[in-house]
Amino acid sequence: MSHRILVDRNLPVPMRDGTLLMTDVYRTAGAGPLPAIVVRLPYGKSTLSMQAIQIEPVRAAEVGFAVVYQDTRGRFLSEGEFYPFVHEGADGYDTVEWVAGQPWCNGQVGMTGASYVGVSQWLTAVLQPPHLQAIFPIVSPSDLYEGMIYQGGAFQLGFTLLWTLLFLAPDTALRRAQAGEGGAGVAGRLLLASAQIADHYAYLPLSELPTLRESGTADYYFDWMAHQNCDVFWQSIDPTRLYDRVQVPAYNVGGWYDLFLLGTLENYARMREEGGTEAARAGQRLRVGPWAHGVYGGTYPDRSYGVQSSAGFVDLTGLQLRYFDYHLKGLDNGFDQDPPVRIFVMGEDRWRDEEEWPLARTHYECWFLRSGENAGGAGGGLSPAPPSREVPDVYEYDPHDPAPTIGGPSFLPGVAVGANCGPKDQRATETRPDILIYSSEPLQEALEVTGPLEVILYASTTVPDTDFVARLCDVSPDGTSRIIAEGILRARFREGYDRPSLVNPGEVNVFRLDLVATSNLFKVGHRVRVHVTSSSFPRFDRNPNTGRRLGQDRPSDLRSAVQTVFHDAEHPSHIVLPVVPRQT
């Protein structure tokens, strides 16, 4: 059956302060009042590539929804000044209620969208707009400090700078030029800087990056850097403190290599416990694929997880339509009978349904860092057997030559084709003297690791502040060492992100590194491997080792650190593996 789709372009939607946000509405001609799905994004409401990763508006309109795409405040055609996150809750509330009051809407409203658009949904939901019935956040952060702008107290330089230079600041520059408030060439210089991003990642001091600072288009970027602790600045826009205010169900979609995986999993698990209504708690759903941020095909340059792993095979728009059919139309389509969790098990390369996250049948096993060589080459061992008397390992971390980011949950240039994210081979870096390698013996039985990951490290340093980085890798019999997960902790935040405390050089401290989570089957003959180092650059800013505030150090200030990693009976450094028994 063919449908004639009406598209109302650039409808001015008034916010409570009078600011008008330009909005497009897609709906079937001649249809009565319809349930509506709202997408509020800062990347251009008419950009086809952005629509493809949110929801296909024409397809949704054809099956009986009004689809509302809106430029957020201060973006593209909408009025106002853009400052990330600050206005999204109130503006989302006002938009939902405006939509519900239109003659083409029956008062049933949902929200959907990916990344920043997912954050907007949570910030709206905590304000409880009366007509909001359900949300569908895709690859969404939770806490905007931990897991988005920072992780482990380290600044997510790779993501934040590329995002700002390429996706945010140029539109602001163009708007100001059109208003006669800036030169027409500013946007071009910002885009050129994004194309030469490696030079800008390396620039010091971070807080004085000239291209961005002089453009005056992204003061928020420097505000993020100025608030290096989790203080009131972050707490005021943190939806994780208000889960009990959320009264609607959510379908959470994430990826094992997505840099916002922490937020996706936290939103699901905590809403199941803390949601403001029984409907919100019971209505949480979770799906996690082998995806990275912007890479939803399940295929990377050097590893494919098969055709069924792709978001196209999953049909994310179809999944959203089924979800909203149930929650907005009240259709008895069996959605409520589906298991709440569906995950892709890498290595086994198949989808599996579960009843909860983390899995209740998980055994949390400590695998200890050990001394000595193993059959896989030079380096230490990794074993469930605890250590006794062992000599610590020592390496030098020099921020002039930081260990590089190779794959993993990163967002670096080439992300759209998966060139610099996902399960990349780590062998190119494993010969560096500043990366400690700990490998198990070849596995005699397959080992499934599904759940949260943590490394407990007993270590000392010769400087007042430094970083420790840990990676989990799956090593094939041919030696290929694929990254599975990565985590970092800035030493000053070992007691909490709101309680920075410099370390005493030479003192042994316990560092708990959150590697977030995974689902991976280590096959027979494979090895489990852990890296310990002090940088993953440029994913994270390199720690200058000085103890000064973030962004202040110049090249001449950088100093080397000697790091000592202990793994003996009194200091049993280990990784906690969430082992899931194999089903027979």
Domains and CATH numbers, the chain: 5-146+234-354 (3.40.50.1820), 154-227 (no CATH), 363-579 (2.60.120.260)
φ, ψ (nearest 5 deg) of residue 259: -70, -10
CA gap 434, 432 in Å, rounded: 5
Q: Which of 179-188, 189-198, 453-462 has the highest mean predicted lDDT (pLDDT)?
A: 453-462
Tokens for 72? 């957020």
Beta carbons of 265 and 153 less than 8 angstroms apart: no
Beta carbons of 368 and 567 less than 8 angstroms apart: yes
CA gap 280, 71 in Å, rounded: 28
Beta carbons of 569 and 392 less than 8 angstroms apart: no
Find the catalytic residue in 87, 131, 200, 293. 293
Q: Looking at this protein, which amino acid is placed at residue 503? A: V
- The answer, yes or no, to whether residue 377 has pLDDT greater than 50, is no
Tokens for 58? 């024409």
Q: Give me the mean pLDDT over the 405-418 stretch.
A: 90
339 three-state secondary structure: coil
Find the catalytic residue in 78, 87, 91, 115. 115
Q: Other CB atoms closer than 10 Å to residue 369's CB: what's the count?
A: 30
Q: What is the pTM of this model?
A: 0.96
DSSP string over 404-463: BP-SBS---TTGGGTTTSBS-B-TTTTT-TT-EEEEPPPPSS-EEEEEEEEEEEEEEESS
Tokens for 318? 């179809």
Q: Provide the mean pLDDT of the chain.
A: 95
CA gap 37, 113 in Å, rounded: 10
Beta carbons of 21 and 15 less than 8 angstroms apart: yes
In the residue annotation, 258 being an active-site residue is answered as yes
Q: What is the pLDDT of residue 50?
A: 79
Q: Other CB atoms closer than 10 Å to residue 555's CB: what's the count?
A: 12
Q: Give me the mean pLDDT over the 168-175 stretch.
A: 94
Q: Give me the mean pLDDT over the 52-66 stretch.
A: 93
CA gap 330, 416 in Å, rounded: 37
Pairing mode, if any, of strands 5-14 and 20-28? antiparallel
DSSP letter at 488? E
Pairing mode, if any, of strands 251-257 and 285-292? parallel
198 three-state secondary structure: helix
Beta carbons of 425 and 481 less than 8 angstroms apart: yes
Beta carbons of 92 and 129 less than 8 angstroms apart: yes
pLDDT tens sequence across 106-115: 999 999 999 9
Q: What is the pLDDT of residue 374?
A: 40
Q: Give me the mean pLDDT over the 304-327 stretch.
A: 94
In the residue annotation, 293 being an active-site residue is answered as yes
Which of 44-48, 74-78, 396-400, 430-434 is predicted with the least confidence, judged by mean pLDDT?
44-48
Which residues make Cβ contacts (< 8 Å) with residue 49, sequence separation at least 6?
A: none
E strand spans, 115-198: 132-138, 150-151, 154-155
Find the catalytic residue in 143, 258, 425, 474. 258
- The answer, yes or no, to whether residue 46 has pLDDT greater than 50, is yes
Which of 1-15, 92-106, 143-157, 398-412 is predicted with the least confidence, judged by mean pLDDT?
1-15
Distances (CA, A) of 221 to 170, 212, 436: 14, 9, 34
pLDDT band per the 50, 70, 90 thresholds, residue 373: very low
Sign of the four-CA dihedral 176, 140, 50, 96: negative
In the residue annotation, 115 being an active-site residue is answered as yes
CA gap 217, 579 in Å, rounded: 47
**Phi-psi group of 27: left, alpha or beta (phi > 0 → left; psi -120 to 50 → alpha; rest → beta):** beta
- The answer, yes or no, to whether residue 32 has pLDDT greater than 90, is no
H-type helices in 21-156, by residue range?
48-52, 57-62, 88-100, 116-125
Tokens for 206? 């971070």
Beta carbons of 473 and 482 less than 8 angstroms apart: yes
H-type helices in 283-414, by residue range?
311-314, 316-328
Q: What is the pLDDT of residue 524?
A: 98
pLDDT tens sequence across 177-188: 988 887 779 999
Query: 473: part of which helix (H) or strand (E)?
Result: strand 467-475
Q: Give me the mean pLDDT over the 387-393 stretch.
A: 94
H-type helices in 284-395, by residue range?
311-314, 316-328
Q: What is the pLDDT of residue 163?
A: 97
CA gap 216, 174 in Å, rounded: 12
Residue 169: strand pairing partners: none
Pairing mode, if any, of strands 20-28 and 574-579? unpaired
Distances (CA, A) of 42 to 4, 10, 117, 421: 28, 15, 8, 24
